[in-house]
Structure 1
């Protein structure tokens, strides 16, 4: 299958075209898109398809609550202080665990005196001891400051600990609870600052194993993108997605254009395999550095592609970032053998979003 692009393409200076809305059609069509390789342009083939909308899930607001049983192979975990102070003026901590679809949710408050890996391990074991509970293969967490405690507790529970900003679901849940739970709690205090700070250093040079030969800014109707991600769910291609409803984006229309980056390589299959192990969080167009930045793990950043700085390339990069903002940071990365190929080897749905400030 060829990479799927929207039939509006990129307008002048990389900005979305103002032409009519996309009409989805289940057939191949040709479209032009810029490829960053010595200024050459090549044609891509496109396919359009319908996709269903996601649905949002509500969150219980009790001080210690659970919904459903753990059945997923992946968890997302957050264990950190909240903007709540107990009767001694000490910060109240909270453990949140969910699966990416929020079919399973668990929340529990902890006193300041019980923040250690042993307490966290006991809680996880209690959750897994429930009849019908299934142990996940791995659990993602995004707070590097809590890495020692979380990693030890998970390891002792035979769960792989994965530092990653691909915690889109639990991060959205925390932001939701700020308004619906924490600010409604009589213990809420603006003075209870979080320990969390995201420390992003300068981007590093990309390892050769992760380097493609060409790349292009592209756009794709959301419905088509969701259809393509089913191939990831079916393990037909490498990649990763997430449910839009769990991050508050279930109302995005199927025909809205989602910006993306496609990387072409003659070794597309091994490139997709290597890329799949990176825990990709986002791709950014860094105009100041004239390059793409690939953000992975918790705070890793890589120089992923470059362009010659001129009016057109700068405008195209800025337009791509503006397009991302218009869809709440949702974007994608794809790997394909070449612009005319019918194959697709990797697809990752991403969201450029700031971690919670609490």
Structure 2
């Protein structure tokens, strides 16, 4: 039923790079990273949580490597998540029966919240004393029931209105027999969910790392109240050996937050320098929400080229009726391109979209 590797969302090369650099233990590496908590560093190396761009840079600096070397392409022919997981100390899949019950329990909690709109995350914390982070991990079936601490197990029984663990198991199994949990199980157990999340976050991380390295953020001109005209191009000297002055084109910046994770094409009266590869219709798009998760900071200005069709491993902008949607592009098992976002969760068949509605993100400013 389940995806045994669903807790490993961020496979990376940190462990091998650490050992190659002479750090036999993670604790030895942690001593050189005082601003990064050891527990968080451990979870990052184990692939249980996604690293932030600044964390990848800090780790790479200690290991004397380019930050991108710490990222792994999970679509590479030589990548095998089972082999990657086997190198983790103390990691092993849960017994099949317990793994199945963890998925059913997570689905049962999700189904309960879907049926009771007033049962918000805040209400569950107040009434049943289940912290949001623990609720999220239970709903994602991150551990078998027996591995949760006794207080949380009792709180889950209280949440689902049963007296003890035996009653909880019977209740959840009864729900499963009615197919009431089927749609929620699919959201937890399918490997495609994990893979899509990994694709989206790693693509955003890669863009943040390479974009920030090649194009540092610059302060845009002050906003104007009237519809702005492009300011005169700024002359720069591209290389000491070439004294011919060139003009750096500036692109208008758009972007206001809209419902459902969309971005409105509203002029902001700001301008951003165009990279040399930008086409004639390129523009800047400000993203004020983390639609691709923590890997792409809110407030980033993306350089979008509508004359380029997206490819796997890139970010794209899809034009919809109410605005524009930012997506990370990957491939499914059939080799079809799909676009993913995290907030809100979306999985869109790119090949079914009108090419005229798609544009590629070619750079970013932070």
- What TM bracket, shorter-length normalisation? under 0.3
TM-score, normalized by length of structure 2? Answer: 0.21
The structure with more strand, counted as a fraction of residues = 1
Tell which structure's C-alpha radius of gyration is larger. 2
Q: Which has the higher helix share?
A: 2
